[in-house]
Amino acid sequence: MRSWHVRRRPPRLGTAVALVAALLGAVSCTGTATPPPASADTPPAVTATAAASGSPTAAPAQPPARVPDTLRFTGTTLTGTAFDAAQFAGRPVVLWFWAPWCATCASQAWTVAEIAPRYRDTVPIIGVAGLGEQRAMKDFVTEFELAGTPQIDDRAGALWRRFKVTEQSTFLIIDRDGKVVHQGFLDGEALTARVTALAGA
């Protein structure tokens, strides 16, 4: 019994009996006098947020996808931003190896600029620029409106050697399991068909 009961005037016997009976009844309905402790596996913040907002309990977070060897590489984009391919684990990815002076690359650039934003979240297309000067690469990106698509600066040719790319323009398609399912030339129509199929798979 808490201390404020001691300081107050003791209730009459009938009232005390009624209070005891009410308390016993409440305990027998709930089966416990205090709520069970929160599970150690449930983050307190998530539980508290769900209870406060009245929304259903949030589903447990999915474990991160395994990063395949084909996506274990980093680099720097032409805009100077750090790039880590591991972020695309669990999704199909298209790597486009191009050079700024390549006429074939220029003809394919319009298709890439058109479809890349549409499939950014399902089948990201990543440019790998090589075999040229950085200024020319940046001009190419500007001319063909590719700024919305990540373009890795690979003037040193590290990724070209890693994937054994010997000519431009080459599309290398990696499926969601990290397996290379295509490496070679694709015209605009074939590229669009491939990306569309991967997005619906």
What pLDDT score does 201 carry? 72
59 belongs to a structural domain: no
- Do residues 79 and 20 share a domain? no
What pLDDT score does 154 carry? 97
Helices (H) and strands (E) in the chain, counts: 7, 7
* CATH code where residue 76 lies: 3.40.30.10
Paired tokens of 141: 């990106």
What is the phi/psi pair of residue 113, to 5°?
Answer: -65, -30
In the sheet where 170-174 sits, what is the strand order? 151-153, 125-129, 93-98, 170-174, 180-184
Residue ranges making up the domain that contains 30: 3-53
124 belongs to a structural domain: yes
Distances (CA, A) of 16 to 4, 9, 76, 149: 15, 12, 77, 76
153 belongs to a structural domain: yes
List pLDDT tens digits, range 15-26: 443 433 443 444
- Do residues 85 and 124 share a domain? yes
- Do residues 35 and 73 share a domain? no
- Do residues 107 and 155 share a domain? yes
What is the phi/psi pair of residue 172, to 5°?
Answer: -115, 115
- Do residues 9 and 108 share a domain? no
List pLDDT tens digits, range 76-112: 999 999 999 999 999 999 999 999 999 999 999 999 9
171 belongs to a structural domain: yes
What pLDDT score does 62 carry? 59
- Do residues 20 and 94 share a domain? no
- Do residues 47 and 89 share a domain? no
DSSP state of 25: H
- Do residues 160 and 185 share a domain? yes
Residue 191: exposure state from Cβ atoms within 10 A (0-12, 13-18, ≥19): buried
- Do residues 41 and 74 share a domain? no
